[in-house]
Amino acid sequence: MSIEKHGTDQQVVSDVENIMDHLGDSKLYVNSIHEDNDDLFFMIKEGITKYLIVVPAENNTAFNGEEVKAGDKLALKCPLDHSNAEALRDRFEFAKAVLIGKNDSYGFGDRLGNAGPAHLRSVKGTGFKPILAQQSIRELERTNRTADEVMDAASFSVFQEGYHDGFGADGDHLKTPADIDRMVKAGYTMFTIDPSAYVVNEVTDLTEEELHARVDDLPWDELKETKGELLNRILNSNVQLRTGYKIKPTEAELLQGMVKYGRVITHTKMMAEYISSTYPDHPSELELSVDETEEPTTLFEHFLVASELYRLGVELTSLAPRFCGDFEKGIDFKGDLDQFKSEYEQHLAIADMFGGYKLSIHSGSDKFTVYKVIGSLNLGAVHVKTAGTSYLEALRALSVCNPELFRKIMSFSIKRFNDDKKTYHISADLSKIEDPASVSDEKLPDYLDDNHARQVLHVAFGSVLSGSLPEAKDFKKELMTSLEENEELYEGFLLRHFEKHLSPFA
């Protein structure tokens, strides 16, 4: 199969323009023009709806669409639906998710499914690889989307942009084998295992006797060692990180670590083995996320989990510790940056001992000061996960192009706040937010620069987008329409915003 892009080839562009003369009034996405043997593919937008055009129709029966006579040719005008996304992935390898490996990567969660093209443009030339389809089970449920829809949006985005350098797809915060099944079926390649249900937080209250009893109770056959062997091995290991830091737990610390993380280790191993044994031919890379614990991950805890997984043959591509300080949703880091920097270096040194996996920054949106620190270290590879911040840029565009709808969504999000904030780490204070009814149109975009309002909007995304609440039932459709009508404005905001996310690493 030969894939050539002829965005600048005048002959092909004029062929495309000839076909477009028969399609009615529409906009061409020049980078989407692909020639494969004698077949021609490109994307257009008619009104607010995008289509994939396939020519000639008779050679391409895998695609479904309306037949349109275009001079002496018959073209297919295909909706951007799941079956056409599947046909596109069968035809063009670059429309499928690939493994990203231990390279710098950026997760561009896209809860609306329309930010991909701008994400790709912003990542070009930065050295980061894009993870385009990145969605947790929680987000899928809250937005009422499927894993397929998210993947299809990614495939159409790389096609529209003519992006052939490979993108990853991250099934985020997967808790059960059934979660893995959903993501494998939809073609995801990165699997973020979330063992938070197995973390035992209250270990410091346990007596020595209780600690021993809890450790005795661990599934030692899965840990492939006895308790005595493990204690002996780790207490006598005298590990020194390349930074000079010595891993020297007391027996009590080791027992606490095993109570807290013992089942995290065995659950992660089970999930990893489930993927490799159930889907031996499916490309997969693993992230382990322990970011949603109550306390920051200590260096010893990181060491313990990583060394045990390594010993048990589980290969990680990335690991997300819970770092020090506060990684609240939608706003910059709060905490001691010097402490973050020194701990980050130590965490990285641990990662290097066990395969050199990437450190992954969850709740990575808008952590500009943290990016700068990581960029300045210029050590190891990093993965940054963002999601809500693209939704907020969509709302910023809306505040400019459709003030009336923005005002409704802002008021609604304020009303939802006390319910919607429940599962999030945030500190917004409703009393600090002005009533949208009394704010002029010109001042509405200021909400997106206010940390309180940002978090209120951030946590309400599910209520706004899912369509399950009567008051909000038309919000998503109206929001999507406004964004399609103002595509360039929206993309401009996204590009400017991700420039701020990516340039501190340069």
Binding site for Zn ion (CB under 5 A): 289, 291, 362
Closer residue to Zn ion, CB minimum distance, 31 or 289: 289
- Between the CA of residue 304 and those of 256, 308, 478, what are the distances in Å? 11, 6, 50
State in angstroms the smallest separation of the CB of 211 from Zn ion.
28
The structure tokens 């895998």 sit at 62
State in angstroms the smallest separation of the CB of 139 from Zn ion.
11
Q: Which residue's C-beta sits nearest to Zn ion?
A: 362
Q: Are 180 and 191 in contact (CB under 8 A)?
A: yes
Of 114, 160, 184, nearest to 494 by C-alpha is 114
Residue 354 CA to residue 362 CA, distance in Å, equals: 21
State in angstroms the smallest separation of the CB of 291 from Zn ion.
4
Closer residue to Zn ion, CB minimum distance, 293 or 369: 293
Closer residue to Zn ion, CB minimum distance, 62 or 197: 197
State in angstroms the smallest separation of the CB of 364 from Zn ion.
9
Q: Which amino acid is at 29?
A: Y
State in angstroms the smallest separation of the CB of 89 from Zn ion.
28
Closer residue to Zn ion, CB minimum distance, 84 or 390: 390
Of 66, 67, 77, 71, nearest to 42 by C-alpha is 77
Q: Is 172 a catalytic residue?
A: yes
Closer residue to Zn ion, CB minimum distance, 175 or 362: 362
Q: Which amino acid is at 330?
A: G
Backbone angles phi, psi at 166, to 5 degrees: 95, 130
Closer residue to Zn ion, CB minimum distance, 60 or 386: 386
Per DSSP bridges, beta strands 358-361 and 318-320 are parallel
State in angstroms the smallest separation of the CB of 375 from Zn ion.
21
Selected catalytic residue, list 161, 172, 194, 366 = 172
Closer residue to Zn ion, CB minimum distance, 269 or 362: 362
Q: Are 231 and 257 in contact (CB under 8 A)?
A: no
Residue 234 exposure: Cα atoms within 13 Å on the Cβ side: 26
Closer residue to Zn ion, CB minimum distance, 151 or 387: 387
Residue 146 CA to residue 153 CA, distance in Å, equals: 11
State in angstroms the smallest separation of the CB of 258 from Zn ion.
24
Q: Is 352 a catalytic residue?
A: no
State in angstroms the smallest separation of the CB of 362 from Zn ion.
3
Closer residue to Zn ion, CB minimum distance, 118 or 320: 320
Residue 344: partners with Cβ closer than 8 Å, 6 or more residues away: 323, 359, 373, 374, 377
Q: Are 92 and 164 in contact (CB under 8 A)?
A: no
Selected catalytic residue, list 139, 170, 287, 328 = 287
State in angstroms the smallest separation of the CB of 197 from Zn ion.
14
Residue 506 CA to residue 504 CA, distance in Å, equals: 6
Helix 251-278, helix 208-216: angle, nearest 10: 20
Encode burial over 482-497: b for 16+ CB neighbours within 10 A, e otherwise. bbeebbebbbebbeeb
Q: Are 456 and 433 in contact (CB under 8 A)?
A: yes
Phi-psi region of 492 (alpha: psi -120 to 50; beta: other; left: phi over 0): alpha
Of 314, 458, 475, nearest to 398 by C-alpha is 475
DSSP letters for 204-270? TTS-HHHHHHHHHTS-HHHHTS-HHHHHHHHHT--EE-TTS-EE---HHHHHHHHHHHHHHHHHHHH
Q: Are 342 and 306 in contact (CB under 8 A)?
A: no
Residues that are catalytic: 172, 287
